[in-house]
C-alpha cells in the first residue's frame, strides 16, 4: 500500500452517543462495531434509540472526515482547504451536488433503515417492537448491516457523480470523502 492508503487504513474512529450509552468504532475504513453499555439496549424505546443512533452516526462521520483530512494534509504537506478548489468549476459543481446527494441503507432483517444527505443530516428508523423482539447482539449486527448498505449506496453515488463531472475514466479511480 501507499502512504495515503496506509494512513487511511490505520485510522480508528471511536465515538459515543450523546447519552454515552452507545459506542461505535470504525477501523480500516469499513470495519464497524457497535456496543451498548451494560443493559442500556433493553431500556431504550425505538424513537430514543433512533435519535441516539442518528447523532452517533453524525459524530462518527465528522470524526472520520477530520481524520481523513489530517491524513491528506500529512501526505500533501498542507491543510485541506475546500476554498482552494473553488476556482475549478467542475470541482465546485461536484462538491455542490455531493452535498445534496442522498444515501440510504436497510439492514438485512429490515429492522433498521439509515439515510443521510451529503453524509450529514443522518436519520435512523428502527422498526416498532424491535427492542423487545431483537436481542442486543443481533440488533447491533443489523445496524452495522444498514451502515454497510448505506456506504455502498454512497460509493455508487460518488462514482456516478465523478463520471458526470470529470468523465467516465475518473469515476472508479478516485475517492471523495
Span 101-137, pLDDT tens digits: 999 999 999 999 999 999 989 999 999 999 999 999 9
Q: Which residue has the higher pLDDT, 168 or 101?
A: 101
CA 11 to CA 64: how far, in whole Å?
A: 8
pLDDT at 171: 58
pLDDT at 104: 98
The helix or strand, by DSSP H or E, that contains position 109, with its residue range, turns out to be: none
Residue 19, classed as helix, strand or coil, is coil
Sequence spans of domains, the chain: 3-167
How large is the angle between the packed helices 89-99 and 136-166, nearest 10 degrees?
150
- Does residue 31 carry a pLDDT above 80? yes
The helix or strand, by DSSP H or E, that contains position 7, with its residue range, turns out to be: helix 3-9
C-alpha cell at 16: 459515543
In this structure, are residues 90 and 19 in contact, taking their beta carbons and an 8 Å threshold?
Answer: no
CA 170 to CA 158: how far, in whole Å?
A: 11
CA 122 to CA 84: how far, in whole Å?
A: 27
Instruction: Provide the sign of the torsion angle of the four alpha carbons 66, 67, 69, 74, taken in this order.
Output: positive
At the topology level, CATH places domain 3-167 in Ybab; Chain: A; (3.30.1310)
User: Which residues, 6+ apart, have CB-to-CB distance to 110 below 8 Å?
Assistant: 127
Full DSSP string of 112-132 = EEEEEETTEEEEEEE-TTHHH
Span 80-91, pLDDT tens digits: 776 665 677 888
Amino acid at each position: 500500500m501507499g502512504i495515503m492508503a496506509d494512513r487511511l487504513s490505520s485510522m480508528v474512529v471511536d465515538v459515543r452517543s450523546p447519552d454515552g450509552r452507545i459506542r461505535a468504532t470504525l477501523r480500516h475504513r469499513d470495519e464497524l462495531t457497535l456496543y451498548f453499555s451494560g443493559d442500556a439496549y433493553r431500556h431504550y424505546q425505538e424513537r430514543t434509540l433512533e435519535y441516539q443512533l442518528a447523532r452517533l452516526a453524525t459524530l462518527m462521520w465528522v470524526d472520520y472526515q477530520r481524520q481523513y483530512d489530517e491524513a491528506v494534509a500529512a501526505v500533501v504537506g498542507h491543510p485541506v482547504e475546500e476554498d482552494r478548489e473553488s476556482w475549478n468549476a467542475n470541482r465546485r459543481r461536484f462538491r455542490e451536488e455531493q452535498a445534496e446527494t442522498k444515501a440510504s441503507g436497510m439492514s438485512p432483517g429490515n429492522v433498521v433503515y439509515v439515510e443521510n444527505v451529503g453524509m450529514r443530516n443522518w436519520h435512523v428508523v428502527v422498526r416498532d417492537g424491535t427492542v423487545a423482539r431483537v436481542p442486543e447482539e443481533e440488533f447491533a449486527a443489523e445496524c452495522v448491516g444498514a451502515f454497510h448498505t448505506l456506504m455502498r449506496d454512497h460509493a455508487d453515488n460518488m462514482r456516478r457523480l465523478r463520471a458526470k463531472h470529470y468523465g467516465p475514466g475518473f469515476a472508479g479511480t478516485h475517492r471523495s470523502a
